[in-house]
């Protein structure tokens, strides 16, 4: 059985060093995501949030440190479908018209053997994903005709179609209006209730704040905070990350990470 034990991190980075063209961006990051958590990665522009996510997804290699997925060293990990990804700046529109349902169903391919036919179970999972993001009634519409927020939800449903245990979302609220952010929060709450673990990158949490169980903040490629949401925002989740208030104190159980984790 390859499933992780409850307390075992589903993602674990130890002393992660990574960057681009020899320039380090992550400079020794320790990070753990445990089953059932919703962890928000926060930090200023360029602090390395997306890079950390890309490392977890295997898109950027580590030049130092270690990555484990479901307790398995990343080099030996073969079950990519267990991790779903909703990219940051990506639209689902192209020159070729596609319905919402087609886009979502394409996410099912990660779970399928080559050339196998669509089964009743596939249809069920695709419909459940559409329902989760509140787009079932729009399934036959051309994605190009949807709003930005609805397109983002289509991408989330596409990731859900592979039934991931961990969902990684890079700035899911960026450019999304308030109504769509509320739907996103509801979607996340449903996913968590269903057992999905979530890692997301954000600048502001807004309506997502009640769903987030922990904040990890990066600054200059290092984790500077790991703890509860409230302590990080100083009670104002709409306030952006800039002042790093958690570095001021650890009043609500926050952990200040200015030394390697023991
Ligand atoms: N593909 C790339 N090639 C070269 N440099 C990159 C690449 N992607 C990111 N960088 C650089 O790495 C640094 C960290 O970028 P990263 O996208 O991880 O930060 P971030 O915290 O996610 O920022 P933002 O909030 O602006 O998205 C930045 O200086 C950025 O310019």
pLDDT at 260 over 80: no
pLDDT at 41 over 90: yes
Please give the tally of structural domains in the chain: 1
**Where residue 174 falls among pLDDT bands split at 50, 70, 90?**
confident
Beta-sheet pairing, 166-170 with 197-201: parallel
Q: Is 27 in the pocket of ligand 1 (CB under 6 A)?
A: no
C-alpha closest to that of 112 among 154, 158, 81: 81
- For the stretch 73-82, pLDDT in tens is 999 998 888 9
pLDDT at 247 over 50: no
Residue 226 lies in a domain: yes
**Where residue 8 falls among pLDDT bands split at 50, 70, 90?**
confident
Ligand 1 pocket test target in 48, 203, 218 with most atoms within 8 Å of CB? 48
pLDDT of amino acid 175: 78
Query: What is the domain range of residue 181?
Result: 9-234
Residue 179 lies in a domain: yes
In sequence order, the 6+-apart residues with CB closer than 8 A to the CB of 199 are: 11, 33, 39, 41, 53, 56, 166, 167, 168, 169
Q: pTM higher than 0.80, yes or no? A: yes
Do the beta carbons of residue 81 and residue 165 sit within 8 Å? no
Ligand 1 pocket test target in 25, 52, 57, 170 with most atoms within 8 Å of CB? 25
Residue 243 lies in a domain: no
Residue 242 lies in a domain: no
Residue 206 lies in a domain: yes
Q: Which one has a higher pLDDT value, 115 or 29?
A: 29
pLDDT of amino acid 157: 93
Gap between the Cα atoms of 70 and 77, Å rounded: 8
- 55-69 burial: b if 16+ Cβ within 10 Å, else e: bbbeebebeebebbb
Gap between the Cα atoms of 131 and 144, Å rounded: 19
**Where residue 231 falls among pLDDT bands split at 50, 70, 90?**
confident
**Where residue 173 falls among pLDDT bands split at 50, 70, 90?**
confident
Q: Is 43 in the pocket of ligand 1 (CB under 6 A)?
A: yes
Residue 144 lies in a domain: yes
CATH for 16: 3.40.50.300
pLDDT at 246 over 50: no
3-state SS string for 97-135:
CCEHHHHHHHHHHHHCCCCCCCCHHHHHHHHHHHHHCCC
Residue 28 lies in a domain: yes
pLDDT at 235 over 60: no
In angstroms, what is the span from residue 6 Cα to ligand 1's centroid? 32
**Where residue 116 falls among pLDDT bands split at 50, 70, 90?**
confident
In angstroms, what is the span from residue 50 Cα to ligand 1's centroid? 7
Residue 23 lies in a domain: yes
Q: Is 45 in the pocket of ligand 1 (CB under 6 A)?
A: yes
């Amino acid at each position: 059985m390859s499933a992780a034990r409850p307390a075992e991190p589903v993602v674990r980075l130890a002393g992660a060093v990574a960057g681009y063209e020899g320039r380090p961006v992550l400079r020794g990051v320790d990070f753990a995501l445990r089953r059932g958590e919703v962890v928000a990665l926060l930090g200023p522009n360029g602090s390395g949030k997306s890079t950390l996510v890309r490392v977890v997804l295997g898109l950027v290699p580590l030049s130092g440190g270690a990555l484990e997925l479901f307790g398995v060293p990343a080099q030996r990990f073969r079950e990519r479908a267990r991790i779903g990804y909703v990219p940051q700046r990506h639209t689902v529109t192209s020159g070729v018209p596609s319905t919402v349902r087609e886009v979502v169903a394409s996410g099912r391919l990660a779970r399928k053997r080559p050339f196998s036919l669509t089964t009743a179970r596939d249809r069920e999972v695709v419909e459940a994903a559409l329902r989760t993001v509140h787009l079932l009634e729009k399934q036959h519409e051309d994605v190009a005709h949807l709003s930005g927020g609805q397109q983002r939800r289509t991408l989330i449903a596409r990731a859900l179609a592979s039934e991931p245990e961990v969902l990684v979302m890079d700035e899911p609220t960026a450019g999304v209006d308030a109504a769509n952010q509320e739907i996103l929060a509801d979607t996340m709450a449903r996913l968590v209730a269903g057992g999905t673990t979530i890692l997301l990158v954000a600048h502001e949490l807004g309506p997502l704040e009640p769903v987030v169980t922990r904040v990890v903040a990066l600054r200059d490629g290092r984790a500077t905070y790991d703890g509860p949401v409230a302590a990080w925002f100083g009670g104002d989740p709409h306030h952006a990350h800039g002042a790093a208030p958690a570095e001021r104190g650890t009043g609500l159980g926050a952990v200040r990470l200015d030394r390697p984790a023991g």
